Structure 1
Amino acid sequence: MWSTKQLADLAGTTTKAIRYYHRAQLLDEPERGHNGYKQYRAQHLLQLLRIRRLTELGLSPASAASALENDNSSELYEALTAAERELTAAIDKFNAMREDVRGALAGRSFGDLALQLSDKPPGLSEKDFAVLLVMSRLFDAETVLTFQEILHSSPRTPVDEAFDALSPNADRKEREAVAEMLAEQTRTRTPENPPYSTRGQGLAEAVEIMEKSIAHLYNDAQIEAIRRSWELLRAQKTASDT
């Protein structure tokens, strides 16, 4: 679960924009915790990303809401076509938006939209889906879709069971053992040269943001095991490159 500020940071927007989307009934209200603070979940992030993506493509908030509420592909296509015509005549700063619309309408750039404009892939757990949503804000489409395919096509293993069973009180030896198993499983599941392209920040910074963003999904021992497995994978990659 995320606070309003955390949700805004993940979606690349502001708390003011989120409040506006709530007032305009574009974004569902989340539940509140015992302390009265809002607690956003993965579905809110997905909903916010959908709204933001469509408005970035030139649609007004009202048009975006109508297209999403009715789930009407022809209406969405017509709206995107209209936005493309308007953006073609706009000033230079809208050129990037115009190319996004053209790419989406031509079916070329859907990789970037696939996660943001679709429901949770069948068979994917809520935790894995939340991780992919966070990844979509930090890594490029190829990286996200590669790991989505890995998660979707890989059956659960004893390693997954050991990770789920890792308690917050697990000692360092247990955490290290699970980390080593996670690293080995990840290495065997991923392509020989997996894409790790970020959206501007360095890989280490993106990994650090990932750790903070998914901390609420796992206990301290599991987070440490994940972090350690990433360290092992990076060390293995560095060794293989030398």
Structure 2
Amino acid sequence: MPLPAIPRRVKIGDAAAFAGTTPRAIRHYHAIGLLAEPERGSDDRRRYGYDDMIRLLWIRKMADAGLSLDDIRAGFEGATGIEQSLAQLEESLAAKAAAIEVQRAAVHRLRKMGSPLGLLSPLVSGRLHDLAPGVPRSTDLDTLLVTERVLGPLGAAAQADRFIVLATHPELRAEEDRLAEAEADLDDTVSPDDPRIEDLAAQRCAHETALAAAIDRSGLDEALDVLLDQEDEHAGEEEGEARMSTLEAIGKMPYDFSPARVRYEERVIELLHSADQDGDTSRAC
């Protein structure tokens, strides 16, 4: 039986049918640089030769194996043969597998530690891991998340000491809750000149002074000094992340504070600064 006429080049429809794909897919291969544009016939239509068909068959085999078109294209780039292409692909996929392992480890850590504790850097969450589940509170952890963004892991690690003391000193926790409730009452119905602001700011100053003393007695600040000595070791943790100054960060973080609450916060800062300058916190507050 004689062989059928064997064309030296075929149209895109025949090429697609032979390779098990569609003309639209082949046009996409051309568009993304995966398959070079072939010669065109006198009718200005693409004509595909033997080498083009081999390339199409390799593309289809790789795609059927689950490889993305981007990965396939990367494997072909600069390669002089299919063996080199496969070697490049294997190297690229190994790098991706390693990156996925890092991501899996991160997700596993988030699940194991819980959210939002797992969202904090190891430097911060490590200071809280000995506390009972649910301690500190989720609102405390949210605050640490914001602080870490503003001041970095070391600043948040320092603030974590505050929440550790609150979790282990019921009387301080009760006072914190009482003050937080009173602060929440400084809504838009309260004038910034209300005399209660001054009294409440003095109470907050005294409470923060008591907290600082408890932290000092606990020795937590000594452990923090060790972290400070290791600052260089963790300096690259947030490399590549856009960093802002503290004032810039505060200006971009929304807080639903009334004018009275803003004035209160300013007054607390003034009192604490005065206490720090005088060195006599009880008299300053």
Larger radius of gyration: 2
Q: Using CA pairs below 8 Å that are at least 6 residues apart, which structure has the higher relative contact order?
A: 1
Q: Same fold (TM over 0.5)?
A: no
What TM-score do you get using the length of structure 2 for normalisation?
Answer: 0.27
